[in-house]
Amino acid sequence: MGALISALIAFVLEAFPPATKFTEKDVPDLSGSVAIVTGGYGGLGLETAKVLLTHNARVYLAGRNEKYAQDAIRNLKEQTAKEAHFLHLDLSDLKAIKAAADKFKSKESELHMLFNNGGVMAPPVSQLTADGYDLQFGTNVLGHYFFTMLLMPELLSGTKSSQDGKVRVINTASAGHQFNGLDFNTFKVQ
């Protein structure tokens, strides 16, 4: 019985965390900072981009749908009077990830914040990445890992000019796997 009560308390604390004491109003001026937000044209990614722009960061919205990104960029400009930039990134294709990293490197020599936010949720198990991996694992895990590793030189360069000598890599994820667990048999590789 004690284990059940402990599990219930843990669930309630995770499902209903206390209010944060840090809000967007506490974000310092980010002038000179460069940020990439994957999946930045909707949901948490869009709100993240908005806060970053409001605080003067140069922001790249990275994703595979240029139309959605351009719509978001237009809306962000209306809301913040600042312009984000589009970076074409398909996290389900390792060659496309390399191309996106190369494109970014051709424009910027430093990166201060990388928000790995984009992803897919519950695609059919039979759906694979361009490289033959399970689509969800390949996109949400391998894709972001590869993108981050490719940008590591720019992140390290960013430490030299950041206000506190640090850069940030933030990985946004879901707790959905807790409901069904992980079936490693679906992590197919062709």
Q: Please list the rounded mean pLDDT of every run of 10 residues in the chain (190 residues).
A: 79 80 91 97 95 98 96 98 98 98 99 96 87 90 97 98 94 72 64
Beta partners for residue 61, in sequence order: 37, 86
- The pLDDT, as a whole number, for residue 124 is 85
pTM across the whole model: 0.87
> Rounded to an integer, what is the distance from CA 126 to the centroid of its chain?
25
Token pair belonging to 166 = 């640090």
Whether 172 contacts 46, CB under 8 Å? no
Q: Which amino acid is at 107?
A: K
Beta partners for residue 170, in sequence order: 115
Residue 80's contacts (CB-CB under 8 Å, 6 or more residues apart) are: 50, 53, 54
Report which of 31, 19, 37 is spatially closest to residue 168, judged by C-alpha positions: 37
- The pLDDT, as a whole number, for residue 173 is 81
Alpha helices in 84-133 (DSSP H): 94-107
- Find where tokens 């930039």 sit: 85
- The pLDDT, as a whole number, for residue 21 is 87
Q: How far is CA 81 from CA 56, 105, 126, 134, 161, in A?
A: 10, 26, 43, 40, 25
Report which of 63, 167, 164 is spatially closest to residue 111, judged by C-alpha positions: 167
What does DSSP say about strands 113-116 and 168-171: parallel, antiparallel, or unpaired? parallel
- E strands in the chain: 34-38, 58-63, 85-88, 113-116, 168-171
Ordered by where they begin, the domains of the chain are 30-174 (3.40.50.720)
Phi/psi for 116 (5° steps) reads: -85, 90
Q: Which amino acid is at 109?
A: S
- The pLDDT, as a whole number, for residue 36 is 99
- The pLDDT, as a whole number, for residue 106 is 99
